[in-house]
Amino acid sequence: MDRFFDDNRATRLVTTGLAAALSLWSANPAAADTVVNCTANPGALRAALANAQFGDTLQIAGRCRGTYTLETSLTLTGTGTAVLDGTGRGTVLTIVAGVRVVLNQLVVTGGASVAPTAVGGIANSGDLQVIRSTIIGNTATGGAVATGGIHSAPGTTASLLLSSSAVLDNRATVVASGPASATGGVRTEGTLTLSKTEVRSNSAFVSSPVANRAFGGMAIGAGQGLVYGAVIRDNTARAEHTGTTGSGLVAGAIAGITHLPSPDELVIGKTIIQGNRAVAVSAVGSGAAGGLLTRITTVTGTDVSGNTAEAGTFSAGGVVNHDAPMVFENGSIQGNVASATDSGGLAAGGMVTGYLGPASTALIGSTVVNNTAVGADSVGGLYLVSPNGSYTLEQSKVDMNTPFDCNFACQP
């Protein structure tokens, strides 16, 4: 058993969120179940929401067409193949602060938002549980910020639980004259629990003459976070800095999971982070991470493999621990590729620790194998940025990385 994580802990956290939703409904004995037949009337959901009371359950059938704002705590549950289709007219679902909403067995698709801050699928400011549902094929085109799938914020009011669900093929685009960021799949502030959920084939593109960031799969901000039994696969992020001035990594792309600067811990357990691709382009400074960029993070039983990162200044194919303590236990970092094209570019195929500040990584019972780095300053396996970074290796294997395993004494 992992010393930091176990199945029972994950089950307790997910069950607690679901139990909270159920307790809300039991608090209102007058709550009703209402059948919403969108096959007979594609606009039926709008009328049902207008009449819904606290704690009601709307049982949805067919394809409901439109965009909806949820201002009452309730459950939307699908029967058969139930679809909420935004028909390209904005954000499909907007959930206001102070309400609790459960989405069960639904497909959310067809969102297409164009706004300064754009969200395609779901914009959540309340307490949202998404269960056995799919968020697919939504787009967001932002003037400064865009999220294709789900945006849950602010942290003072928002919480998000995704269980046995999927966030697929969503797209975010920002072309701006000022600071900009785009997230393809899920972006959160506030508590996050993601269990047995797939985040796949989402894409983010951002272009501006000043600092920008593109996040392909997930960008997790302040608030306690748990990602357990998930698959984060085949997401893409591309950031283009079109200016000629600035400092640091003015273009940044992270394709898999990004843990944004936060005082809160992110726990990742029994998850696959695979086949994600990040590209960052700038004449000034660019950085890319293919799989996972972390802050205060514990990762257990997780496979980070086959991810790719391409940039000029800084590139890491697998994992980046920028400036915080990290534990990576009973997992693998393998087959990742990084390339840095600048004359002094840093490339790490497997992992880099300490690029932005003091950072420590403990590798316990893990493998770092068959990773590749290409660049002027390249390490295939573990890259240590001195004097900021440190590694502790316990019963771990670092081998068969190209051009070599470590830039410090990592072998016994």
Q: How does DSSP assign 380-405, residue by residue?
A: SSEEE-TTTEEEEEES-EEES-BS-S
Q: Specify the number of domains making up the chain.
A: 1
Is 375 a member of any domain? no
Read off the pLDDT of each residue in 301-318 and give the average, rounded to a whole number: 98
Is 195 a member of any domain? yes
Read off the pLDDT of each residue in 265-271 and give the average, rounded to a whole number: 97
Contact 295, 259 (CB under 8 A): yes
Q: Please give the Cα distance from 82 to 123 (Å, whole number).
A: 20
Q: Residue 203: is its pLDDT beyond 90?
A: yes
Q: Residue 28: is its pLDDT beyond 90?
A: no
Contact 212, 223 (CB under 8 A): no
Is 356 a member of any domain? no
pLDDT band of residue 6 (cuts 50, 70, 90) is low
Read off the pLDDT of each residue in 391-405 and give the average, rounded to a whole number: 97
The first and second tokens of residue 36, run together, are 């919403």
CA distances from 138 to 64, 122, 177, 237 (A): 15, 9, 24, 16
- pLDDT higher for 31 or 221? 221
pLDDT at 404: 95
pLDDT at 295: 87
Looking at residue 22, what DSSP letter applies? H
The first and second tokens of residue 63, run together, are 């394809």
pLDDT at 30: 57
Is 203 a member of any domain? yes
Is 58 a member of any domain? no
Is 326 a member of any domain? no
Contact 282, 253 (CB under 8 A): no
pLDDT at 296: 87
Q: Concatenated DSSP letters for 61-97?
A: EEEEES-EEE-S-EEEEEEEEEEEE-TTSS-SEEE-T
Read off the pLDDT of each residue in 384-403 and give the average, rounded to a whole number: 96
Q: How far is CA 62 from the centre of its chain?
A: 30
The first and second tokens of residue 275, run together, are 């086949």
One-letter amino acid identity for 339?
S
Is 106 a member of any domain? yes
Nearest alpha carbon to residue 76 among 98, 39, 108: 108
Read off the pLDDT of each residue in 56-67 and give the average, rounded to a whole number: 97
Torsion of the alpha carbons at 371, 374, 377 and 383, rounded to the nearest 10: -10
Q: What percent of the chain has a predicted confidence (pLDDT) above 90? A: 88
pLDDT band of residue 4 (cuts 50, 70, 90) is very low
Q: How many CA atoms are closer than 13 Å to the CA of 274, on its beta-carbon side? A: 11
Q: Residue 139: is its pLDDT beyond 60?
A: yes
Strands 100-109, 134-136: pairing is: parallel
Residues in the chain: 412
Q: What percent of the chain has a predicted confidence (pLDDT) above 70? A: 92
Nearest alpha carbon to residue 192 among 135, 257, 143: 257
Contact 304, 292 (CB under 8 A): yes
- pLDDT higher for 16 or 391? 391
Q: How many CA atoms are closer than 13 Å to the CA of 191, on its beta-carbon side? A: 12
Read off the pLDDT of each residue in 70-95 and give the average, rounded to a whole number: 97
Is 349 a member of any domain? no
Phi-psi region of 23 (alpha: psi -120 to 50; beta: other; left: phi over 0): alpha
pLDDT band of residue 1 (cuts 50, 70, 90) is very low
pLDDT band of residue 12 (cuts 50, 70, 90) is low
Q: Please give the Cα distance from 134 to 83 (Å, whole number).
A: 9
pLDDT at 281: 98
**Which residue range is the domain that position 299 belongs to?**
64-70+78-311
Read off the pLDDT of each residue in 84-113 and give the average, rounded to a whole number: 98
- Bridge-partner residues for 142, per DSSP? 115, 174
Q: Residue 132: is its pLDDT beyond 60?
A: yes
Q: Concatenated DSSP letters for 157-186?
A: T-EEEEES-EEES-EEEEE-SS-EEEESSE
